[in-house]
Chains A and B, each alone.
Chain A
Amino acid sequence: MESLILVLVGVLVAVATYLILSKQLLRVILGTAVLSHAAHLLILTMGGLKKGDVPLLGESEGPYTDALPQALILTAIVISFAVTAFVLVLGYRAYKTNGSGNFDEMRGTPDE
């Protein structure tokens, strides 16, 4: 199971990289979102996917699934959401002020 998910993570990372190397601002942000999904899945998989019960004490006698990666991912999800939201609004502003979302047209001022 783990190997399958890790190959899937590889596919997600490849797709994310491809998107990040795009010309369009929106696609780059899409790429970062895909990359964070890949990272979260990777953390979960590396923690081990062996069947255990939901890590809730009252629900069963155990053994439980490893709870630590889940806590880490939860933190990571919130942080990546904050960053994605920020970058999206930044992109939105870039559209508004520059009138373009194309990286080839957003290269700063030419050298003096």
Chain B
Amino acid sequence: MLQVLYIFIPMLAAILVPFLYKSIKNIHTGWFVLAVPATLAIIYTTYIAKVADGEVFHAELPWIPSLNISVVSYLDGLSLLFSLLITGIGSLVVLYSIFYLDKHKEKLHNFYVYLLLFMSAMLGVVQSDHLITLYFFWELTSISSFLLIGYWFTRDASRLGALKSMMITVGGGLMMLGGFILLYLMGGTYSIRELIVLAPDLVHHPLFTWSLVLLLLGAFTKSAQFPFYIWLPDAMEAPTPVSAYLHSATMVKAGIYLVARFTPIFAVSELWVWLVTGIGILTLFWGSFFAVKQTDLKGILAFSTVSQLGLIMSLLGASAVAYHTNGAIDSIKFAAFAAIFHLINHATFKGSLFMIAGIIDHETGTRDIRKLGGLMSIMPISFTVTAIGSLSMAGLPPFNGFLSKEMFLTAMLALQNFEFFGFETWGVFFPIIAWIASIFTFIYSFYFVFRTFTGKYTPEKLPQKPHEAPIGMLISPMILATLVIAIFFIPNFVGDTFVKPAVQAIQPFLYDSPQDIDIHVAAWHGSLTPELLMTIGIVIVGVLMFVALPKWQGMYTRFPQAFTLNNAYDKLMLGLDVGLNRVSRLYMTGSMRHYLLYMFSSIAAIVIGSLFVKNAFTFSFQNTAPIRSYEIILVVVLVIGTAITILAKSRLTAIIGLGSVGYTVALFFVIFNAPDLALTQLVIETISVALFLLAFYHLPKLGKREERMRFQLNRAIVSIAVGVMVTLVALSAQSQKLIPTISKYYEETVYSKAGGGNIVNVILVDYRGFDTLFEITVLGIAGMAILAMIKLRMNRKEKTHENK
């Protein structure tokens, strides 16, 4: 119970933030906010030891019990690791933001409310064991991210970036919801733990592949995988603390979390392995390749994030292979461990690099790498932190990136050894692509640090005079940089404490407890392993290519802008906008006749169609009355009357024709023994014709040109179809009467119970008096409406007349 409430603590604190901001003006609001993630981080730290021993914590808060929906907090190795990342990096980011955001110029209350909302949402995502609440928190992260990207809402680029990320991540989120619902339909439970137990049965379900693909769409859009990564570079319009927090350490890892969490369910599928590994490695290459093209510091980091997320994703895909090997090949077991290990490493070095990018922006006034250079002696601390982060990102010792890159290469090399899913033929590509991508990673890491801090110092290009950042701003990146080095020296402590419990959560079928995982991280394996040789190759080729960078960087400009994914996205959005507008203009003509044509033709088509599809048309002469001569005469008269109405050249003739139809109908009522109807019909027809003549008399002079209705074929066809439809339906209904009339009751009781002799009248006022009451109401309303329509308009006209 308490454990569930921890998720909501930031959300509750967010309610207080605006009050604090308004009432306490002289203290930066961030100091109060800092207490929230810091407290939560301490709380979650207390779980570490027990979770490392294989314990799990579970708490439930019912939300909609009748639908089995509840907020579940489930803490195992994986969710605890993420919770620690969220609260830990969250604390550092809040601390950094206190110095980054000016308390007088910025709307701090907005910022911290959004940030705390995001924190709650993210904690909810990683701790939810319930599919529906997981989705709820998932979309909450999308919304709060949207608000944070658009924080400087007066800038066009911020709004566009926010909209783009919203469209893509919410689109993916909806796909994911579809996948969740299919999972529920297959397994009959919303709980992920219970679904994992059921996993062996789910594989053969016909919906399995659908739910797999839909769920992966959600994960790929959120984690900026190819081709959905395009929102992430545009999200760099957010304030830098947001980029550091959301777009490097937490939100973009929600997709990673999702894939890791659902690996036990889907890993048996070949499609899962291929999609996750393939898309991951493609994203890795694509992101690293295009990172070198960027000139904006945050742009480089955004593409680098995309690339590193691809790396983690491909490792998770490879870890699914372990389900099929029965431990035959040990090196593949590294995959899950490497994924989680790199996730921690990436959060540390990427967080610090983003913060440095923000510091450089803050102190020099620009993030354009072409204007920067030679800042090493001016900003020594920033340089040191950047160097540590970048070299770790490049995968060099003595930084933590080296260890995870080694394990990554090990896992990729291991992939080609498998003789299923076609890995024996295609698996060889994985280490090759990984190797090339690592070279590009190396290049952009060097590009980032050396283009900014070494080279010629050109103060005239910079908007501000640069100097070292205040110490408060540097604390957070320094802590993260210290972690980068520390993890290199104590990898096994990190491995035992954080990584192994998470790996056990990803591969519960392989290991019973975290202690069973027999992986020991070492920087030096005692011999020249293939992955070490690959790393040496990366360094040599990387250095050579970095030195030659000015010679070949120009090739990026050769790529035609028209073929980029961003352009495709813009074209798609514009095309949808314009195309759908055109479609609706096509049928929404504004002409009532067209709409009526659509309606009549679809009614006729649907009814006649279903009559024949369902074989419902029947026709019999039984139970019908004989035809008498004067009835035929009346039918002929009626047909002539309608023909006059339709063919008449003058409208007056048409009105008279209608009158003749009405009187003939009255005669029909006479011969079919309905005296009350005949009376009413005669009177009403008279009044109606008088009204028609009134309207006719007031025709405007302009339109008085009398002309025959012009014949139109489509109109005639639709009219005949509607007429035929009515006749066919009526004949079928008339030919198969199922139950006798209830009128016998009326006949028998009309005098004994109601005391009347005219059955029709007694039905109207006694048996079914309510009909009559409301029919009177209708008449009354019509009368009042007519009166109002004439009177009110007249009055207004007179008034305007007087005013003139």
Chain A residues engaging chain B, CB cutoff 8 angstroms: 1-15, 17-24, 26-27, 29-30, 33-34, 37-38, 40-42, 44-58, 62-68, 70-71, 73-75, 77-79, 81-86, 88-93, 95-97, 99-104, 107-108
Contacts and interface: CB of A to CB of B under 8 A. Distances in A.
Given A44-B677, A100-B700, A107-B591, 20 more contacts: A3-B624, A6-B727, A8-B635, A14-B722, A26-B692, A26-B695, A29-B695, A30-B658, A34-B661, A41-B665, A46-B733, A51-B625, A67-B760, A81-B688, A82-B783, A92-B694, A93-B793, A97-B793, A99-B700, A101-B703
A28 to B, nearest CB: 8
A67 B734 contact: no
Contacts of A101: 699-700, 703
B542 to A, nearest CB: 58
Contacts of B712: 21
A90 B674 CA distance: 32
Nearest to A22: B709
17 contacts: A4-B627, A4-B632, A13-B723, A23-B593, A24-B651, A26-B651, A30-B645, A30-B658, A33-B658, A34-B661, A45-B730, A66-B743, A77-B684, A84-B688, A86-B785, A93-B790, A100-B700
Nearest to B664: A37
B429 interface: no
A50 B628 CA distance: 12
Interface stretch (B146-154, B317-325, B393-401, B745-753): B745-753
B46 interface: no
* The 8 nearest A-B residue pairs measured at CB: A14-B723, A10-B727, A82-B782, A57-B757, A67-B759, A18-B719, A17-B719, A55-B759
Contact of A46 (B677, B734, B771): B734
Given A46-B733, A57-B757, A67 B695 contact: no
Contact of A89 (B596, B624, B779, B790): B790
B734 to A, nearest CB: 6
B107 interface: no
A10 B646 contact: no
Given A84-B691, A101-B703, A44 B638 contact: no
Give chain A's interface secondary structure class: helix
Nearest to B635: A8
A68 to B, nearest CB: 5
A66 to B, nearest CB: 5
Contact of B673 (A26, A53, A90, A91): A53
Interface string B685-704: 00110011011101110110
Interface string B756-793: 11111001100010011001001101110110011001
A22 B710 CA distance: 9
B727 A7 contact: yes
Give chain B's interface secondary structure class: helix
Given A18-B646, A57-B751, A99 B668 contact: no
B680 interface: yes
Given A2-B734, A74-B677, A10 B723 contact: yes
Given A10-B726, A88-B691, A2 B668 contact: no
Nearest to A109: B590
A1 B630 CA distance: 12
Contacts of B655: 30
A48 B631 CA distance: 15
B654 interface: yes
Nearest to B661: A37
B274 interface: no
A31 to B, nearest CB: 9
Q: Which of A9, A62, A68 has the most CB of B within 10 A?
A: A68
B772 A56 contact: no
Nearest to B761: A71
A1 B677 CA distance: 20
Q: Which of B625, B632, B742 has the most CB of A within 10 A?
A: B625
Interface size class of B (residues with CB under 8 A): 35 or more
Contact of A71 (B624, B760, B779): B760
B630 to A, nearest CB: 12
B524 interface: no
A68 B631 contact: no
B592 interface: yes
A19 B646 contact: yes
Q: Which of B642, B662, B694 has the most CB of A within 10 A?
A: B642
A75 to B, nearest CB: 5
A50 to B, nearest CB: 5
B552 interface: no
Interface of B: 590-593, 596-597, 600, 619, 621, 623-628, 631-632, 635, 638-639, 642-643, 645-646, 651, 654-655, 658, 661-662, 665, 668-669, 672-677, 680-681, 684, 687-688, 691-692, 694-696, 698-700, 702-703, 709, 712, 715-716, 718-720, 722-724, 726-727, 730-731, 733-734, 741-743, 746-747, 750-751, 756-760, 763-764, 768, 771-772, 775, 778-779, 781-783, 785-786, 789-790, 793
Given A34-B658, A77-B680, A100-B702, A67 B763 contact: yes
A46 B684 contact: no
Given A34-B661, A44-B674, A95 B695 contact: yes
A87 to B, nearest CB: 9
A38 B591 CA distance: 26
B775 A75 contact: yes
A13 B661 CA distance: 13
B746 A67 contact: yes
B718 A11 contact: no
Given A6-B731, A22-B709, A71-B760, A38 B726 contact: yes
Given A70-B677, A78-B778, A1 B631 contact: yes
A65 B674 contact: yes
Contacts of B702: 99-100
B795 to A, nearest CB: 14
A81 B676 CA distance: 16
Nearest to A64: B747
B651 A74 contact: no
Contacts of A50: 623, 625
Contacts of B775: 75, 78-79
Nearest to B681: A77
B592 A71 contact: no
Contact of A40 (B590, B624, B665): B665
Contacts of A17: 600, 718-719, 722-723
Contact of A4 (B631, B673, B677): B631
Given A2-B625, A57-B758, A85-B786, A27 B654 contact: yes
Nearest to B642: A15
B760 A74 contact: yes
B771 A75 contact: yes
B772 A9 contact: no
A14 B719 contact: yes
A70 B698 CA distance: 36
Given A22-B709, A84-B691, A68 B758 contact: no
A40 B669 CA distance: 10
A12 B583 CA distance: 35
B715 A18 contact: yes
Contact of A82 (B661, B694, B778): B778
Contacts of A48: 623, 625, 741
A9 B687 contact: no
B690 to A, nearest CB: 10
Contact of A41 (B658, B668, B731): B668
A40 B700 CA distance: 33
Nearest to A81: B684
Contacts of A37: 661-662, 665
A67 B621 CA distance: 23
Contacts of A100: 700, 702-703
A24 to B, nearest CB: 8
Contacts of B658: 30, 33-34
B672 A44 contact: yes
